[in-house]
Amino acid sequence: MRSVPTWLLTAALLTFFLGPFVWQVLTSLRPEAELTAPGLPRALTLEAYRSVLGGRPFLHVVLNSLVVATATTISCLAVGASAAFALAKLRFPGRSLLLGAALAVSMFPPIATVSPLYLALRAVGLRDTLGGLVVPYATFALPLTLWLLTSYFRQLPDELYRAARVDGCTPFQAFRRVLLPLVLPGLATTGILVFIFSWNEFLYALTFISSPGKRTIPVAISLFAGEHAEPFAEIAAASILATLPLVVLTVLFQRRIVSGLTAGAVKG
Amino acid sequence: MTLERVSKVYRGGVAGVREVSLDVADGEFVSLVGPSGCGKSTTLNLIAGLEEPTSGTLRIGGVVVNGLSPRERDVAMVFQSYALYPHLDVRRNLAFPLEVAGMPRQRIRERVEETAALLGLTELLARRPAELSGGQRQRVALGRALVRRPKAFLFDEPLSNLDVGLRAQVRGELKKLHERLGATFIYVTHDQAEAMTLSDRVVVMHAGEVQQVASPRELYLRPANTFVAGFFGAPRINLVPPEVLGLQSPGEGLEVGVRAEALTLGLGEAPPGAVRGRVYLVEPMGSEAWVTVEVDGHRLVVRAAADFGGSSGTPAWLTVDREALQWFDAATGKRV
Ligand SMILES: Nc1ncnc2c1ncn2[C@@H]1O[C@H](COP(=O)(O)OP(=O)(O)O)[C@@H](O)[C@H]1O
Ligand SMILES: [Mg+2]
């Protein structure tokens, strides 16, 4: 039997985390007339969803977000995994310095980097392109990627790397054929975090993109308000739609994340 | 295979090994033995190409291999933890070195099946390492080395993760395997009994330096110094000042080494020439008993019959076989 305090704490936590989400769902389903009414809605309608998906280029916005977040995640993991492998398993001078420097980069407040980045992106012709979001996103997500993946690689026994080398692998082959498959759970976890970061990012997306056709979800939702009087239901519906892919992604990879793929690598 | 004054200083100044020189003949079984941290694994890694020596020359088959990658050295290694690839089944684990070398599929298949049959792994080919027992994993690790048919095999404490019964069995199998293959085996262990029973020659290491290279018999009978003398043989050799045993010292500042079997222990009336002491500890070993006797504040271990009647505190006497004494310089530990 669970004790009463545990039970209460669980309930409180669930309310804290799920409450706003539930409220959002309810808001998105209320008929327009009831929007500001207190309590549970008396009727439910999908009007807001119809309006979001039909009346605006919302699917196009979702697609933009998907492209940006996917490209960011893939480039981050590609660069991050090879760098993390080198940091964790190879010996070269200055590797702790490198990890420290990566951490320092992630300390810059984004707001302080907006104008220089804007100028830089304009100079290389990436302003107002989706690529112009991928580059800074990947840059800012890389330190976290590096730290997480380095710790995943460190958990793999050194002898696995050595065995692969003695079996004839070059360092890169040892990485690709032996170590990389073993950090797949780590890659999935890290990838989801990077994906969520890019999916939710607002400041750069607002500043660097001017064409409505290239907006990403957070910016598009924030601009609903200017166009309609009180689009609460639609904002709620759009938020729900924007959250769903993340939920699906996390659930899909959950098994990967918790699986102990490395079991049996060494004695035990 | 030749090591010529090979040293390895790790980053930060830790000396892994110092000036190791060693000649290994083709087909020889050589053990590296010594306490933990003495540089055994470092030596193996240097041979395998996993570490580069800071100085010295390494030759395999007459060719200088300094600077060559492990791939170019054609040696196989079995690791203490086995280091099986956990995401691959036994078949793919065995095939791995051949795949990396780019061997055609059909030949890989044949080699893998041949090796699996030799080691009794045929039934297990479809299993993942996680689904194997310790002994089975050890076999797969061995198979992954065998399948390549390399010039030399390196073993880094391959048996230390097995339980005692299995260890003795696999030890015997390894020796038979060496006879059958006729390849060079370099075998690292911290267990003196393993080194003794397996090898043609033993390299005793201590604190990164080679103490002695000799046959097991030679090491036991003529150890180069007190470290080697103390490392080989169970119970440990007794090292005491000669006067404790009533012996005439042939020189200044010497210590005498007496193996347990060179001492005779008795209770009651002492024969002439015996020294007197008291029983300090009795350890029954089944077929015999190891008795520690305290003489003049020095403790000596003696073999006695399994039904030895004394117990702690019993007065006892010892006689020494004067033919079986070994003399060492008390200050340097060197044999004289
Ligand atoms: N990668 C390394 N970096 C620094 N020091 C090391 C490294 N590997 C081993 N050493 C040191 O070198 C010495 C010899 O180690 P090792 O060859 O592993 O000993 P053994 O295998 O005989 O137990 C030890 O003092 C150990 O701490
Ligand atoms: Mg070792």
CB contact (8 A) between residue B81 and residue A170? no
> Chain A to chain B, count of Cβ pairs less than 8 Å apart?
84
Q: What is the rounded average pLDDT of the residues A212-222?
A: 90
Question: Which pLDDT score, from 0 to 100, does residue A261 have?
Answer: 43
SS3 for A104-119 is HHCCCCHHHHHHHHHH
CA dist A133 and B213 (Å) reads 66
For β-strands B29-33 and B152-156, DSSP reports them as unpaired
Q: What is the rounded average pLDDT of the residues B191-208?
A: 93
- With beta carbons under 8 A apart, name residues in chain A contacting B100: 167-169, 173, 177
Question: Which pLDDT score, from 0 to 100, does residue A100 have?
Answer: 87
A122 shares contact with chain B (CB less than 8 Å): no
Could you report the predicted ipTM of this complex, rounded to two decimals? 0.87
CA dist B20 and B56 (Å) reads 8
pLDDT of B40 over the 90 cut: yes
- Cis geometry, peptide bond prior to residue B86 (ω within 30 degrees of 0): no
- Single-letter amino acid, residue A232: F
Question: Which pLDDT score, from 0 to 100, does residue B12 have?
Answer: 85
CA-nearest of B113, B138, B135, B114 to B126 is: B113
Question: Which pLDDT score, from 0 to 100, does residue A227 have?
Answer: 58
pLDDT of B264 over the 80 cut: yes
Residue A27 neighbours by CB under 8 Å, 6+ apart: A35, A232, A233, A236
Question: Which pLDDT score, from 0 to 100, does residue A55 have?
Answer: 67
CB contact (8 A) between residue B45 and residue A265? no
Question: Which pLDDT score, from 0 to 100, does residue A226 have?
Answer: 64
pLDDT of B176 over the 90 cut: yes
- With beta carbons under 8 A apart, name residues in chain A contacting B97: 167-168
Question: Which pLDDT score, from 0 to 100, does residue A267 have?
Answer: 36
pLDDT of A262 over the 60 cut: no
* Largest CA-CA distance found in chain A, in angstroms, rounded: 73
B45: Cβ below 6 Å to ligand 1? Answer: no
Strand order in the sheet with B288-295: B263-267, B315-320, B275-284, B288-295, B298-305
pLDDT of A19 over the 70 cut: yes
Question: Which pLDDT score, from 0 to 100, does residue B165 have?
Answer: 86
Q: What is the rounded average pLDDT of the residues B171-180?
A: 93
Least confident range of A48-57, A177-186, A234-243, B8-17: A48-57
DSSP-assigned letters across all residues of B35-102: STTSSHHHHHHHHHTSS--SEEEEEETTEE-TT--GGGT-EEEE-TT----TTS-HHHHHHHHHHHTT
**Mean confidence (pLDDT) of chain A:** 86
Residue of B nearest to A156 (CA): B83
Question: Which pLDDT score, from 0 to 100, does residue A3 have?
Answer: 80
CB contact (8 A) between residue B77 and residue A166? yes
B326: Cβ below 6 Å to ligand 1? Answer: no
Question: Which pLDDT score, from 0 to 100, does residue A244 have?
Answer: 86
pLDDT of A257 over the 80 cut: no
Strand intervals (E) in chain B:
2-9, 15-23, 29-33, 55-60, 63-64, 75-78, 152-156, 184-189, 201-206, 209-214, 238-240, 254-258, 263-267, 275-284, 288-295, 298-305, 315-320, 325-329
Question: Could you tell me which CATH class the domain A56-261 is placed in?
Answer: mainly alpha
B138: Cβ below 6 Å to ligand 1? Answer: no
For chain A, give every residue range classified as CATH 1.10.3720.10. 56-261
Question: Which pLDDT score, from 0 to 100, does residue A233 have?
Answer: 84
Choose the mutation target among B96, B136, B151 for the interface with A, i.e. most A CBs under 10 Å: B96
Question: Which pLDDT score, from 0 to 100, does residue A265 have?
Answer: 42
Q: What is the rounded average pLDDT of the residues A143-150?
A: 92
B35: Cβ below 6 Å to ligand 1? Answer: no
